[in-house]
Amino acid sequence: MTSQPQIWFITGSSRGFGRALAEAALEAGHSVAATARRPEQLAELVERYGDRVLPIALDVTDSAAARAAIAETARRFGRIDVLVNNAGYANVAPIETGDEADFRAQFETNFWGVYNVSRAAISQLRAQGGGLVVQFSSVGGRVGGSPGIASYQAAKFAVDGFTRVLAVETAPFGIRTMVVEPSGFATDWAGSSMTVNDIPADYEQTVGAMNSRMRQTGSRPAGDPKRAAEIIVRAAARQNAPSHLLVGVNAVEMSIAYSRAQLAEAEAWEQVSRSADFSEPYPAELPADDAV
């Protein structure tokens, strides 16, 4: 584990996880290039931490702006040790009735924003001999199946797949990756940041029920963003950060249950799956079609 001050670059730093992470990194003695669509929202960080904070205006969907932000950070601090793609949001609507333009707009931020910033940073990280790329996904980006937020979850699955390729392509340059997969946290993700579109009666038991669990139960999400941010900062200081970091009890329990179910299904269908190759016995007997 390194005790040396690091240079962090964090997207979506004005609130939520991004803000908590910027504060945790600064409290740990690091310096932060904090980006936001409205950098004036970062004024308090500058007042508290002075020249260890570089506020940058950034819309992550703008690839040229992403390149400029990376270059500005490198000019100011000389390097980037930890790059965090945190910016993202979700709106609620069924796939059938949701607005296509909104679906695409969410994907533009949640996936293409990650692509833009990651791609912009590679040459800097390669030139300096390495660094850590932290991609914010979600436990939903591992287990999926949350009604009403298909664009968000599809993007998070894409972020994971993209990052796995990024990891192997850039490993020879000393670049490492860590995908963060939170469950429910007390941020504004399901608050004013989220638009809930009309939910038809036919979808009330799926999308409607999911929306009620997220927004209308009156209970606070279990996760503490401050604790999670501190955990991420500690993990990022390790020489061998985990490739995937689950944060939150629900994230752990849902992921373990999902992995066990995946393994059980793969084993149940193993002989059938193998039989598709020329060299294997064919046909193979299908597993029992038990009624559930």
More confident residue, 212 or 116: 116
The angle formed by the CA atoms of residues 80, 83 and 88, to the nearest 5 degrees, is 150
Set 49, 115, 152, 203: catalytic member:
152
Domain with CATH 3.40.50.720 in the chain: 7-247
Token pair in block for residue 55:
């506020």
Distance between CA atoms of residues 69 and 292, nearest Å: 53
Q: What confidence category does residue 219 fall into, taking pLDDT thresholds of 50, 70 and 90?
A: low
**Per-residue pLDDT tens for 255-282?**
999 999 999 999 999 999 999 999 999 9
Q: Residues 90-110: what's their mean pLDDT? A: 95
pLDDT at 53 over 90: yes
Mean pLDDT, residues 176-182 taken together: 97
For residue range 105-122, list pLDDT tens digits in order.
999 999 999 999 999 999
Torsion over CA: 215, 219, 221, 225 (sign): positive
- List Cβ neighbours of 53 (8 Å cut-off, separation of 6 or more): 22, 26, 31, 32, 34, 42, 45, 46
Mean pLDDT score, 4-16? 95
Active-site residue flag, 156 = yes
Is 137 one of the catalytic residues?
yes
Is residue 2 predicted with pLDDT exceeding 70? Answer: no
Phi, psi of 130 (to 5 degrees): 135, -175
| Average pLDDT of the segment spanning 246-251 | 95
Out of 14, 49, 156, 183, pick the active-site residue: 156
* Spatial separation of the C-alpha atoms in residues 286 and 273, rounded to whole Å: 10
196 DSSP 8-state letter: B
The pLDDT, as a whole number, for residue 195 is: 81
Look at residue 167 in the predicted model and tell me its pLDDT.
98
Domain 7-247 has CATH 3.40.50.720: yes
Condensed to tens digits (0 to 9), the pLDDT of residues 118-133 reads 999 999 999 999 999 9
The 10s digit of each residue's pLDDT in 131-169 is: 999 999 999 999 998 999 999 999 999 999 999 999 999
DSSP readout, 258-279?
A: HHHHHHHHHHHTHHHHHTTSTT
Mean pLDDT, the chain, as a whole number? 92
| % residues pLDDT > 90 (the chain) | 82
Catalytic residue among 14, 118, 137, 146: 137
* DSSP per-residue codes, 77-132: HS--SEEEE------B--TTTS-HHHHHHHHIIIIIHHHHHHHHHHHHHHHHT-EE
Q: CA-CA distance, 187 to 16, in Å (whole number)?
A: 5
User: Which alpha helices (DSSP H) does 136-248 contain, by range?
Assistant: 140-143, 150-170, 209-215, 225-236
Pairing of strands 175-182, 131-136: parallel
* Catalytic annotation present for 183: no
The least confident of 25-29, 73-77, 142-146 is 142-146
The model's confidence at residue 208, banded by pLDDT at 50, 70 and 90, is confident
Residue 40: the pLDDT is 94
